[in-house]
Amino acid sequence: MESIAITRRLQPPEYALDVLLILRTLIIFIFFYGAAGLMEDQATNELQILELSAVSGIFVTFFAMRSANRIR
């Protein structure tokens, strides 16, 4: 019985995966947004593409999690 209790204590909470997905998406967004800002002088079209891809990545992750019933 003690081993079952220890195993349950060692398992991460159910929402830990959701938090990791959101953090990963935010890090990617910050990276793309920063890279786009660095290249702003060189090419404005690429800047817009990078910003749109970063923002769309956040929405895709949110709706994927919502469809998997992780966000209610």
18: region left, alpha or beta (phi > 0 left; psi from -120 to 50 alpha): alpha
User: Would you place residue 6 in the very low, low, confident or very high pLDDT band (cuts 50, 70, 90)?
Assistant: low
CA distances from 38 to 34, 46, 49 (A): 6, 11, 14
Look at residue 68 and give its three-state secondary structure: coil
Q: Hey, what amino acid is at 33?
A: Y
The whole-angstrom separation of Cα 33 and Cα 58 is 12
**How far out from the chain centre does Cα 58 lie?**
6
Residue 72 has pLDDT above 60, yes or no: no
pLDDT at 11: 62
